[in-house]
Amino acid sequence: MRALAPLIWPVGAFLALIGVGLALPALAQVLDLALPFFGLILLGFCLGRIFDVPEEGLGWMHTFIVYVALPALFFKLIAVTPLDELANFKFIAITTLSTTIAFFVSFAVGMVAARGDMAQATIQGVGGAYSNVGYMGPGLTLAALGSQSAVPTALVFVCDSIFFFTIVPFMMGLAGSQKMRIGETLWLIAKRILTHPFNIATALGILAAYAHWQPPVPIDKILTYLANASAPCALFTMGVTVALRPVKRVAGEMPVLLMIKLIAHPLLVWTLLSLTGDYGAVWTFTAVLMASLPPALNVFVMASQYKVYVERASAIILIGTIASVVTVTGLLYLITIGGVSYKLF
């Protein structure tokens, strides 16, 4: 078994939130939503710290989540959505612009902290802008806002993925850390975008919606089983994955990057959506919740791929996930209990 000392503070924080919920009935509805969500992450984290199971053991779980369960969820929800909802290009433009701004602000912070090291600053930019829209996003938005949040959730995921799968190879090419020709870089970008299972599932869902096609009953039941398994498996696996990457080094710029990710990014999305039209409460709050999520596991994946900022990428995911228990729960409170309007202006 692994050392149990790292479990004290996350378990203690979780128990403290339960105590708050018992003491303050006004928060009970929010905590009833947030605590099971973060509890699955905590359960995975605890088991990952307790048992000496190698990280390679997570390979099939990641495969199941990324290639089967979450794509089934996206397909089922999008396939029954009217096409006019899927073609909300202004919403797509605003949410992607917000992510782009968060990335380049974080990149600028990274350039100062890394003293001009563009490769390192690129990963820092990803850490300050790439929300965990895959593993955490669908489970949270669907639980908080219902099935109507499925389309904006999918659109944010697809467009954010396209942005990061494009910008990171481009920036790394400028930094000189990836010795590839322009044609090879463009092919790599296109391949990652076109072959990502979530993007494929979204495209198939759009085609099914266009053709008004419903899968045969046996296949639909399989898709339902997979969709129902997606959120708990993703959250549990995320907790285990974070536990297997202990914090060895905390960067001085991390508080700034997490402020951008957890606070500035969702506020920016909320502000721009409020200024540019009326997208409705579900779509607006879905976009804000997606932006409020902690750094994605892909921050570590990209850092490992380019062999830069690896240990600190692991730390920003862990600390960001723990901090998001407070920030995301607070946002859920504002949405469900606080009576805040979805339009700020």
Beta bridge partners of 295: 131
The answer to whether 244 and 57 have CB atoms below 8 angstroms apart is no
Check: CB of residue 262 under 8 Å from CB of residue 292: yes
Torsion of CA 79, 81, 82, 85, to 10 degrees: -120
Q: Are 238 and 135 in contact (CB under 8 A)?
A: yes
Q: How far is the C-alpha of 262 from the C-alpha of 35, rounded, in Å? A: 18
- Give the DSSP letter string of 236-258: HHHHHHHHTS------TTHHHHH
pLDDT at 298: 86
CA-closest candidate to residue 111, choices 262, 309, 315: 309
Question: For 71, left (φ over 0), alpha (ψ -120 to 50), or beta?
Answer: alpha
Q: What is the pLDDT of residue 3?
A: 55
User: Rounded distance, CA 139 to CA 34, Å?
Assistant: 11
| Separation between Cα atoms, residue 30 and residue 35, nearest integer Å | 8
pTM of the entire structure? Answer: 0.84
Looking at domain 5-336, does it have CATH number 1.20.1530.20? yes
Q: Which helix (H) or strand (E) holds 68?
A: none
Residues facing 131 on adjacent strands: 295
Place of tokens 């419903």: 214
Q: How long is the chain?
A: 345
| Residue 21: per-residue pLDDT | 58
From first to last of its 345 residues, the chain has per-residue pLDDT tens of 555 555 655 666 666 666 655 555 656 677 777 788 888 888 888 888 888 878 777 888 888 988 999 899 888 888 887 777 778 899 999 999 999 999 999 999 999 998 889 999 999 999 999 999 888 888 889 888 988 898 899 889 888 988 998 888 888 877 775 566 677 777 877 787 788 887 888 889 889 988 889 899 999 999 999 989 988 898 898 888 888 876 766 778 899 999 999 999 999 999 999 999 999 999 999 999 999 999 998 898 888 888 898 888 888 998 998 899 889 988 988 888 767 889 988
3 state SS of 295: strand
User: Residue 15: what pLDDT?
Assistant: 64
Report in angstroms the alpha-carbon separations of 121 from 113, 117, 194, 252, 253. 8, 6, 27, 13, 11
pLDDT on residue 222: 95
Cα separation, 82 vs 90, whole angstroms: 17
Six-digit token string for 206: 């759009």
